[in-house]
Amino acid sequence: MSELERVDLAAEFSGYRSTMLAEIEVPGPAEVRRTVRRRRRRHLATAGAVAVALLGGPAVGYAALDRPDSPPGPVDPTPSVTASRTPSASPSPTGTPSATTVNPTRPTAADGRISRAQLLAARVDLPAWRSGPPDCPVSGVRLVGDPGTAKEGTNALEAIDYADVDGDGATETVAMLLCSFGSGGPQQVVAFDRDEAGRIVTIGRVVATSREKPQWLTGLDGRSDGTVRVEVADLHPGGGWPGEWSQRQWRGYRWTGERFSQVEGPTSFGPNPYSTDLAVTAQDLVLADDPTDGSLVGAVQVRIRNLGDRRADEVLLELDLPASLAPDGPAWDDCGPDAGEYRPPLRCRLGPIKPNGELTVRLGVRLSPGAELPPGTAPVRGTAAGPGGHYLIDPVIANNEDTIAYR
């Protein structure tokens, strides 16, 4: 481009600026303030929209949390689906997760966990108690919660525990029950469940006491594998027998589908260590005249043997003679203050007898002048006591007693 062309182009731009500037209206202060206000409103509106966008998601989420869940609809017996957390390297063309098939025909087992309060509030049916007294009900029974205050002939709840006894995946309830009678009564452990309607139903008896052994149930434990463990004891306390002398065993029971069967623990008891074999023999009583006062006097001679291998700390001898015969003579001096207090029988507390040892006593009696005594017979019994004065077991009780004639 030549110098002359550059000068002419500069002159053209200069003329254009002069013409355009004359046509442009420069805004004054008022117009500037209006423009600033408009821009500020647009800015606030934009910021508000952003805030709504940011808060809108959580607000909708919290609102959804406040709404109650919709009740579940019916569940079709279709296989459950297990989704993999790690995407497959070769996804299925359908994009469906892999499924784990379960048995759709097996119904969900009812929950058989029954609380103590629920069991006491319900009426239940029980397996039959052993024959003989007491006559405790077994149909539509309401259990008593405190065995210590249970009336005779009522069923009391002694203990409760839980185990899946039938292997259906749900928990069942096992309860130790007492048919109250005297200071104890027969016991049994019973398993309960619920049916599909939620009613309490009886599965069956786990174990029960007997007149032989075991005579006492002392513990209950339901295990996670479905085994019901019961602590049983050979003898029930009472009648001078302390519970701490009873032999105890834990035995395990499992449901076979028809009944409970023992699968663990001992099946019998050995000889109780607090026992001995006492043998009593006595001679007939023959009365003769006492010339000093006209009464009749005589003596009962008794032989006591300890055939067992345990020491008898004390022997109690009872003579069930007619009340008209009173103790007489120095042989009664060591028999204690109650020798003739509770007549009949006459009682005499003798000393200890070592294992395989024996002793013989001659106990005098007197018939007052004018009193009549027709001829007859009377039993003479011996009982062995151990530590603390508690009675020892005598497995051969038939030889603890002899019968004498008197005339």
pLDDT class of 56 with cuts at 50, 70, 90? very low
Mean pLDDT of 224-241: 94
Mean pLDDT of 374-381: 96
Query: 34 versus 170: which is more confidently predicted?
Result: 170
pLDDT of 80 over the 50 cut: no
Residues 129 and 211: beta-carbon distance below 8 Å:
no
pLDDT of 237 over the 90 cut: yes
Helices (H), 103-254: 116-121
Rounded Cα distance between 374 and 74, Å, is 91
pLDDT at 107: 56
pLDDT at 205: 98
Mean pLDDT of 371-384: 95
How would you write 312-375 as a 3-class SS string?
A: ECEEEEEECCCCCEEEECHHHHHHCCCCCCCCCCEEEEECCECCCCEEEEEEEEEECCCCCCCC
pLDDT of 333 over the 90 cut: no
Chain-centroid distance, C-alpha 362: 54
Rounded Cα distance between 184 and 178, Å, is 8
Report the percentage of the chain scoring pLDDT > 90.
63
Q: How far is CA 325 from CA 41, 146, 397, 406, in A?
A: 127, 47, 27, 11
pLDDT of 146 over the 70 cut: yes
Residues 251 and 228: beta-carbon distance below 8 Å:
no
Rounded Cα distance between 307 and 277, Å, is 5
The reported pTM is: 0.64
